[in-house]
């Protein structure tokens, strides 16, 4: 079947399945036309409503027949047009996409996911950067205030007062040693330059 053309009533069908469905509907239309009096308006209305309710037709062949019945009902004013049911059109089955298109769709989905992940990662990176800038600024402020509070003269004064206190304690220890009769030996490491 795939070698020959799949044409019915001027319509060429892409797949064997679509062709077989259209062929069955064409046979049904021929049967209905042969066994129904289409000049009787009430029978046309009844046939149209039944076919519409049962969603009998699913191909362009059946839709064309339904549209002919619809036109007959309007032309002969059997019923007001606003009360005529619409022709139900069935959703077409999704045909398999060629492999290249499927692969492209998969790749685009992967890129979309990567983009979404990078967006959330970018937010996290920005938060971390802002936090680190804040910490650096805080450290600079702390260094500035510590530098101004510990200027060089204060540090020198503090160490010189320690040196004076240490010298006084050393003198007190030597005096005590003399009093107790302990001989004090001076070695080179204990000399403090003044």
Q: Are strands 11-12 and 7-8 parallel, antiparallel or unpaired?
A: antiparallel
What average pLDDT score do residues 42-71 get?
Answer: 88
Give the orientation angle of helix 16-35 with respect to helix 60-75, to 10 degrees. Answer: 30
DSSP state of 11: E
Per-residue pLDDT reduced to its tens digit, 3-45: 468 888 888 888 888 899 899 999 999 998 899 888 888 888 8
Query: For residue 73, is pLDDT > 60?
Result: yes
The model scores a pTM over 0.75: no
pLDDT of 1 reads 45
Helices (H), the chain: 16-35, 41-54, 60-75, 99-149, 152-180
80-107 pLDDT, tens digit per residue, is 878 788 887 877 655 555 667 778 888 8
Partner residues linked to 12 by β-bridges? 7
Mean pLDDT, the chain, whole residue set: 81
Choose among 52, 40, 41: nearest CA to 78: 41
Q: For the purposes of burial, counting CB atoms within 10 Å of the CB of 123, is it exposed (0-12), middle (13-18) or buried (19 or more)? A: exposed
Q: Report how far residue 69's alpha carbon sits from residue 45's, in angstroms, rounded to the nearest whole number.
A: 8
What is the pLDDT averaged over residues 150-170? 82
pLDDT over 60 (residue 194): no
CA dist 61 and 6 (Å) reads 13
Greater pLDDT, 157 or 174 = 174
């Amino acid at each position: 079947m795939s070698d020959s053309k799949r044409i019915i009533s001027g319509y060429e069908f892409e797949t064997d399945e679509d062709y077989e469905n259209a062929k069955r509907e064409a046979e049904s239309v021929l049967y209905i036309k042969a066994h129904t009096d289409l000049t009787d308006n009430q029978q046309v209305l009844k046939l149209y409503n039944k076919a519409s309710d049962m969603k009998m037709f699913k191909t362009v062949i059946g839709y064309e027949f339904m549209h002919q019945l619809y036109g007959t009902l309007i032309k002969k004013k059997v019923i007001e047009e606003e009360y005529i049911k619409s022709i139900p059109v069935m959703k077409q089955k999704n045909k398999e996409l060629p492999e290249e298109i499927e692969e492209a769709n998969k790749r685009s989905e992967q890129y979309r996911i990567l983009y979404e992940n990078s967006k959330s990662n970018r937010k996290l990176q920005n938060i971390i950067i802002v936090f680190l800038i804040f910490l650096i600024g805080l450290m600079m402020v702390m260094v500035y205030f510590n530098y101004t509070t510990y200027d060089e003269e204060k540090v020198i004064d503090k160490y010189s007062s320690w040196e004076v206190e240490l010298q006084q304690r050393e003198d007190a220890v030597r005096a005590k040693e003399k009093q107790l009769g302990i001989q004090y030996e001076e070695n080179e490491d204990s000399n403090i330059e003044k």
